[in-house]
Structure 1
Amino acid sequence: MDTASDAMTLTGRLADGDRTGYREVCPIERALDTIGTRSALILLREAFWGTRRFEDFAQRAGFTEQIAATRLKQLVDAGVLAKQPYKSPGQRTRYEYVLTGRGRQLFPVLVSLVEFGMLLQGDARRLDLVHGDGCGAPLVTQVHCTEGHSVQLTATEARIRPKQRR
């Protein structure tokens, strides 16, 4: 079996090399089914930047209304965004889109994408994400275990959790 020096350690059934049966339950594939399109990620960027109204999502993201509507519906159906009614004076009730708890859990993903995008840009224009509240330090994403240890790729093991009996 080939093992790369910069890879996770696969254990149990994952280590046998045939992971085709795992694909149907893979959490990465499930996540990508939900947020893995460019349009979904751009709409999420807008939600994290405070966009709430449909017209603003479509305009700021540069998408047609049809694409924005389709992706926003998918994000609502996945529980990443929620629709909340609002009514401007003299207007009919409309809906705005807000991040849910599940959606806010994607914050580290957004920060990681910003970091990676800046890496790809090199010295080109940069978007800096910094800690507010008077701190001003740049944000970075790091992987930690539940005990608080910083964990590198090569110190990570991937294993399938046994099914729980009911």
Structure 2
Amino acid sequence: MSTPPALAWSVENCTLGRTMAILGERWTVVVLREVFLGVRRFDDIRRHTGIPRQVLSARLTTLVEHGILRQEPYRDDGARTRHEYRLTDRGLELQPVLLAIGQWGDRHLADPGGPPTRFVHRGDCEEDVHVEVHCAGGHRIEDPRQVATRPGPGVRPFEG
């Protein structure tokens, strides 16, 4: 058996690992789903998802600290000022990731009647949106085995 080339590279500065340190907790993706669906207020998110109050507070704080969400103040009549949570440009960049996860779930985990939600191209089109993989040369990649890993400019040698 040959040794995988990736064993020569350190994973200390792995951006996938860094990303999952922010997004990898189950409730974080659920919070992002809610905000992408337009549910932006703490109490609405909590009521719609059943996330415990302390967990939701911690997840929102993390997403704000990492610049994925921003707080927008609002105040209902006679109430104290609260915050809605809005996606930043950085947060909006996560849409293809969430769409890809949803697309996989729709294919493998949906109820017999089909997926509960459709994502469509807004406006006159209204066609379903799906995620595809393309290389920088414009080639569509349909088989995951067509993707190879190569050292990037920030690679460090593994010293273990």
TM-score normalised to structure 1 length: 0.80
Pick from 99, 109, 126 the counterpart of residue 136 of structure 1.
Answer: 126
> CA shift at 1:123, angstroms?
5.8
> CA shift at 1:16, angstroms?
5.3
State the match for 2:151 in structure 1: 159
> CA shift at 1:87, angstroms?
1.6
> CA shift at 1:134, angstroms?
2.5
Report SS of the residue matched to 1:83.
strand
State the match for 2:26 in structure 1: 38
Distance (whole Å) between structure 1 residues aligned to residue 131 and residue 6 of structure 2: 31
Identity in percent: 33
In the alignment, structure 2 segments of 5+ residues that lack a partner are: 156-160
> CA shift at 1:145, angstroms?
3.2
Report SS of the residue matched to 1:17.
helix
> CA shift at 1:160, angstroms?
1.9
Distance (whole Å) between structure 1 residues aligned to residue 47 and residue 73 of structure 2: 20
Structure 1 residues 67, 31: CA separation in 2 closer, same or farther (over 3 Å shift)? same
Distance (whole Å) between structure 2 residues aligned to residue 122 and residue 53 of structure 1: 28
> CA shift at 1:130, angstroms?
2.0
Report SS of the residue matched to 1:24.
coil
> CA shift at 1:133, angstroms?
1.4
Pick from 71, 80, 95 the counterpart of residue 83 of structure 2.
Answer: 95
- 1:109-155 CA distances to partner (integer Å, 9 max, x unpaired)? 11101111012125623132222312232211112234433245314
Larger CA deviation: 151-160 vs 125-134 = 151-160
Distance (whole Å) between structure 2 residues aligned to residue 162 and residue 66 of structure 1: 37
The letter for the 2-side match of 1:140 is H
* RMSD value, Cα: 2.2
Distance (whole Å) between structure 2 residues aligned to residue 131 and residue 156 of structure 1: 31
Report SS of the residue matched to 1:82.
strand
TM-score normalised to structure 2 length: 0.83
2:28 is equivalent to residue 52 of structure 1: no
The letter for the 2-side match of 1:78 is H
Report SS of the residue matched to 1:139.
coil
The letter for the 1-side match of 2:5 is A
> CA shift at 1:86, angstroms?
1.2
Aligned residues: 151
- 1:4-58 CA distances to partner (integer Å, 9 max, x unpaired)? xxxxxxxxxx825244x2x221111111001111100000000000011111111
